[in-house]
Structure 1
Amino acid sequence: MVGIAPAGTTVDGVDGGRSLDYRALMTCAAPTPWLQSVEDQLASWLRQRKDWDVDVRTDGRLTSGVRSFAVRHHQDGQSRSLRARLVEPDPSRGAWTTELIAHERSGGGGWISLDVENANGNFVAVPALARYLMQVLPLADGELQFADEPQVVREHQLDEVMDLLCDEERHGLVFVAGTATDGIPFDRFIPAVKKWTREVYGLAQVIVLDPAATATLSRSFGEPHGVPPWALRTYLPGVDPAVRIDGRRHRIFGTASLAKLADGHVRQVLGRAARNHAAARPTPPSVQRVRRMFERLANQAIVEAIAEHQPPAAVLEERPPTAPPSSRAPQPAPAGDLAAAAERYLAEIELTRTILGIDALDEPTLRRVAASAAAARTNPEAIARAAQQIQDQQARIEQLEDRIDGLARSLEEEELEHAITNEALEKREDETRWLRGRLQEQGNYDAAFAPLPADSETAYPDSFADLLTAVEAMREQGLVFTGKPDHALALDDVDHLGKCVHTAWDALLALADYVRARRDGACDRGVDDYVKNTPSGYRQIPPAKFAATETAITMKQFGAERIFPVPASVDPSGKATMTAHVKLGRIGMVSPRLYYLDHYTESGTIVVGYIGRHLTNTQTN
């Protein structure tokens, strides 16, 4: 059909060797019902941009030439969902596939997933369907709504932006441009940022800080996490200003590069960055559940179509009656030939009846035989086996997807942890070298080069069973463990190298040192401040392993899991909510945690209420 445009368009010279597909995930804060608006915009997009008038409210699969379109709805007591899929083959550039999934919750809100991909790996520009949807719905990532141009943020609005940057559950990138009172005119810089970020619409937030906000962000976050004036910084989810080395994750497009490179090149670089991140980011479990539900429904529909398909019975051609016999008298055949022919004829009739399994060769019987021969042969048992195999394969695919997502998270955490460890080792080596030099200058060569005394080495428990025994002796140090031992003991089954038990012991020793620092007057604030500003001579919890609280949405949905036993002196109910925790490492999908309550001000103690596998949060499958 003339005038049909592909789902996406290519940008010349962009390849990058990684995903260039468009994968947007947007939350929707509109009150219910809003799914009808999605259907209206989808229909308008198909009609106006694809020249295809489709009833998107009716489930089914349609074709138009080489194109195919399928839509399916699903509803339960708590939500309504829609999935639409358009495939547009293109021999020269590869097939374009557009998939839209919208999930509306009955209590309000929900999300929209929009994926557009090209079979040949061509760069997928921002699809028009994304703009259609954003025109009528409040779509966002985190607390900040998507906009089709950079959002200018003043100093008094900065708290909201810092919360957005630090949000671990944010899905997309945030591009933040810094400014200053000198240099480029502020009003001219905003249109430039808009041109550079044109290909991240729906994939990332774009923010331009005014000069005061730029300076305040650098003071609040610290220089490693701030954005320089007249530069553009890419912030990944979960910015952690307390961890200096975390700043390495968030790349900066410097002023010199922005000035030197053509606008189109900057636009391509930022567009690739947004697409690569979207492709690598694990799919949230809530989205994965809906996507898999539709996959299973599609598998079921295929099996049902095979089982129910019965082609129409063959219709025997009606033939005109044979002509009446000729009035001419037939010539008599020789008696011997006639008898032989009759015998052969009767034998053939008997053979036909035997093979067909019928008693008569009349017309109704023959038509019934013909219809049976034309009907499709289906084996219900084989169909049932095929259906089960499809479901088993689907389950296996889902398990592998979960494993890949878990490994991706593990790799990201391990890379950051490795970088932190390297930085700490480099610092310790510098300190050791400096101290040895000072001792040598003073002539104390024995102290400078003597091996570390055995009593100065940290003695680690060999297992969590040993750790639970050792922690009982720490009560006098102000550390009380009230958790269920079984939760900690279960970790011994997966912590084969002892990495997590070592981290847990280090955390317990550091918490005991926090109590000691409070008693010694070396620290007069809580654990959060102690971690950021550990006094000299006291053990530290690495900031990257420490979390002062949980997200609001995690506590709203799963807060009950974080209520742990405490002594009656801490709370008469014998229970208390604990949100502060230490990350003990990642072992597959276990990711153990240690939760505690800082009760020093009231009772002079730290109560450890839980050591065990990762508790449920919004990222848990």
Structure 2
Amino acid sequence: MTSDRFPPSARAGLPGPRGPATPYRMTVTTALPHDDAVALADQRLAAWLKHEGCDEPPPAPHRSDTADVPAERLRLGDRVLLDRDGGPLRGGPGSGYYDRRRLRTPAPHGTHQLTLTVATGAEGRTWVRLEAETHTTGSGVRTPCRVPVPELASGLLPLLDAADGPAAVLPVPRVLTAAEVDGLIDELCDPERRLPTVVASVPVNHDLDAWVADVVRPLCRQLPGLATAYVLDPGARTEFNVALEYHTVYGGAVRTYLPEIDPASRQDGARHPVLARHRIEEDLRRAAGLLAREPRRLAAEQPLPPPLAAVPVLRAPVPGVRAGTGPDDAPSRAERAALAREERQDHAEQQARADELERVRHSLRRERRQGRRLPADEPSGGAVGVLRRGVQARGPVGRLCVGTGGASGRRPVLPGSAARPVAPGDRALAVVPDTFTELMARLGEFPLLTFTGDQKSALALDDLRCTGAGWARLTWDGLTALQQYAEAAVRGAAGGDFKQWCEHTPAGCHRFPPRKAVRGESRTVFSHTKWKRERMLPVPECVDTSRRAFMGAHLRIGGGRTAPRLHYLDDCSGSGRIYVGYIGLHLTNTRTN
């Protein structure tokens, strides 16, 4: 965000004046010794406070590695408070130690809060976590969607030599040459990688430096501390796409590679979202927000590394009760004792909530891992050596086709697919998959569609090819039409829902039969508890806090009692996406029961 849109406190790394927003959370490591990292952080924080006209804090008291340093609260200006504490990590002597700084500054409708924690575990690795959030007072206050990246984050990253596994975490994207592609692949495949890796391509016949300055850097302005970012020059793009057959990026598109990538798996390719060039060029600012969505989500859901998880919650100083003289001394001591008991109880409750949140994060990660387990016959060797042997055996990529995964560029055809060259942007002529296995692997070609369901029901349709010829192709037609409808809907130019779009498909857009687009289920299905529950399908928390929503709208894939259905939720007016919750055989109703 630019400084003219936010007050000075927001420019320091805190949210704007409109209320609670999605917090910013950065977690990186540093090779610096613990005390050096803390000293650098204190220097940067003091420099910013001085720049904002606040008092500079005095030197922090020496931290003990075996005993807690009581939290101290410093008043550095009008409603500007700095809390500092440190000591051993939970787990007893020898488990490690931490230092923490929490800065609170005023906002028009509440308080901005910036928390910096440096923790070093028994193994010696130093972790740095920076959190920025806002707390509002009152109701009816409009809020920004997310807290902007703190200036402190952008300033600290290069000073700390911040890293995520083997990758350097820098505040701006780095341009890679062909000779550096092997290093990028090593980073992507590293099992310790926690942050997403964003890789940008440059359109053919575009100047590299101009594209980086005018497009990529503004696009990545919300990513410092949340992701590592790279730009592939033309030679690096070729090397990268040959090596990562199922995870390509090209034609000015930008792809986000989540942790635990399996480059040898075709199915895994659908897990790493693509931001197409046309979406970037339509609205660069909105595209920057879309690109930051997955890194923000991952930062919130990722379990903390053990040293940071072992940091106790802040035990903020409690203002004492002024002691009187004579007979009034006893009541004052009693009041202080009561306050101390309440503070200890409150601290214990906060710690219990923090521990429960961490257990939820671990549980969520286990569920996600189990949800993407591959079938037994799916190649799963994520080792870089296996990947490169496969590249050498395949040789160079030959045939080309077009898909939105590459925006306006071209992408390698999957092995075994028949293809012919087509003009850029001509989605209707792009190669259509013949199997659901290939279709599911290519869902990333639809940047505004998110598949939230279980792939097993879709992949099982390949076993019915004797009766389901053309099902995969018809499903692809439906997805293509949904994507084009979504592109128009987010601009407010769709002219109605998807059914109306099919009935009055604009010239040049892919047509899907209107009779196969169904707005919702019958009243009988909706009122039947079991049948309705089958159609309560997964959605992100931003759509529904229960992470489930009724998807009555569906596409008819083929005919007959067991013919497949594609169920979806149109949220273009909300999150700007369509969520596909189910592809598979017809769910239960009066005709299938």
Equivalent residue number for residue 25 of structure 1? 27
Is the Cα–Cα contact under 8 Å of residues 232 and 252 in structure 1 kept in the other structure? yes
5 Å-filtered alignment, 1:416-565, equals: 416-417=372-373, 419-430=454-465
Q: Residues 272-287 of structure 1 correspond to what in structure 2 (within 5 A)? A: 272-287=293-308
| Residues 43, 56 of structure 1: 8 Å contact kept | no
Kindly tell me: are residues 372 and 231 of structure 1, through their superposed partners in 2, closer, same or farther at Cα, counting changes over 3 Å?
closer
CA contact (8 A) 2:321 2:335 kept: no
Deviations 1:356-381 (A, max 9, x none): xxxxxxxxxxxx5x44566442596x
Give the alignment of 1:165-176 within 5 angstroms.
165-176=188-199
8 Å CA contact 1:130–1:202 kept in 2: the answer is yes
Note the 1:566-585 alignment, pairs <5 A: none
Distance change >3 Å, CA 203–CA 427, structure 1 → 2: same
Instruction: Indicate which of 260, 269, 272 corresponds to 2:290.
Output: 269
In the other structure, the counterpart of 1:219 is 242
Partner of 2:163: 140
**Residue in structure 2 matched with residue 70 of structure 1 by the alignment:** 83
Q: Which has the larger radius of gyration?
A: 1
- Given the alignment, which residue of 2, 5, 9 partners 2:9? 5
Of 225, 231, 234, 1:208 maps to 231
Whole-Å separation in 1 of the counterparts to 2:302 and 2:294:
12
Indicate whether 1:43 and 2:46 are aligned.
yes
Q: Distance in 1 between matches of 2:14 and 2:80?
A: 17
Higher percent of residues as helix: 1
The Cα of 1:41 is off from its aligned counterpart by 1.9
Going from structure 1 to structure 2, the CA distance change for 1:49 and 1:119 (only over 3 Å counts) comes to same
Aligned residue for 2:358? 402
Extract unaligned runs of 5+ from structure 2. Answer: 1-6, 62-70, 137-142, 374-452, 470-593
The AA in structure 2 aligned to 1:119 is H
The structure 1 residue matched to 2:209, chosen from 173, 187, 191, is 187
User: In the TM superposition, what whole-angstrom CA distance separates every residue of 1:567-586 from its partner, at most 9, and x where no partner exists?
Assistant: xxxxxxxxxxxxxxxxxxxx
Q: Residue deviations 1:231-279, cap 9 Å, x none?
A: 10011111112322211111111122223x2322222322344323322
Task: Output the amino acid matched with 2:243.
Answer: S
Contact between 1:33 and 1:104, CA under 8 Å: does it hold in 2? no
Query: SS of the residue aligned with 2:465?
Result: helix
TM-score, scaled to structure 1: 0.52
CA positional deviation for 1:219: 2.2
The 1:379/1:173 distance shift into structure 2, 3 A limit, reads closer
Instruction: List runs of 5+ in structure 1 lacking aligned partners.
Output: 315-367, 435-621
Amino acid at match of 2:372: L
Contact conserved, 1:5 with 1:50, CA < 8 A, in 2? no
Measured in 1, the distance between the counterparts of 2:148 and 2:290 equals 13
- For the 8 Å contact 1:176–1:232, the answer to whether it is kept is yes
Report the TM-score, using the length of structure 2 for normalisation: 0.54
1:248 corresponds to which residue? 270
Q: Is the 8 A contact 1:32 1:107 kept in 2?
A: no
**Cα RMSD after superposing both structures:** 3.3
Displacement of 1:138 after TM fit? 0.5
* Alpha-carbon contact 1:199-1:271 (below 8 Å) kept: yes
Q: Counterpart of 1:443?
A: none
Are the equivalent residues in 1 in contact too, given 2:313–2:351 (CA < 8 A)?
no
Bigger RCO (CA 8 Å, 6+ sep)? 2
In the TM superposition, what whole-angstrom CA distance separates every residue of 1:47-93 from its partner, at most 9, and x where no partner exists?
A: 2246231125135102332232101122565744211111223233x
- Equivalents in 2 of 1:237, 1:106: separation in Å? 25
2:113 aligns with 97
Instruction: Kindly provide the CA deviation profile for residues 200-250 of structure 1, in whole angstroms up to 9, marking residues without a partner as x.
Output: 11211110112232222222221x311123210011111112322211111
CA shift digits 1:289-328 (9 cap, x unpaired): 12xx244xx17x65xx7xxx564333xxxxxxxxxxxxxx
- How many residues were matched structurally? 360
* Mapped partners of 1:277, 1:50: distance in 2: 35
Counterpart residue number, 2:369: 413
* Distance verdict in 2 for CA 1:231–1:393, change over 3 Å: same
Structure 2 distance, partners of 1:5, 1:385, is 35
C-alpha spacing 1:54/1:392, structure 2 compared with 1 (3 Å) = closer
CA contact (8 A) 1:177 1:229 kept: no
1:55 aligns with 2:34: no
Counterparts of residues 349-428 of structure 1 (less than 5 Å): 368=326, 370-372=327-329, 375-378=332-335, 389-390=345-346, 393-394=349-350, 396-417=352-373, 419-428=454-463
Task: Give the counterpart letter for 1:95 in structure 2.
Answer: T
Asked if the contact 2:158–2:171 (Cα under 8 Å) also holds between the matched residues in 1, the reply is no
| Percent identity for Structure 1 against Structure 2 | 25
Amino acid at match of 1:243: S
The Cα offsets for residues 542-585 of structure 1, whole Å up to 9 and x where unpaired, read as: xxxxxxxxxxxxxxxxxxxxxxxxxxxxxxxxxxxxxxxxxxxx
Q: Which residue identity lines up with residue 303 of structure 2 in the other structure?
A: P
Cα distance 1:68–1:188, how it changes in 2: closer, same or farther (>3 A)?
Answer: same
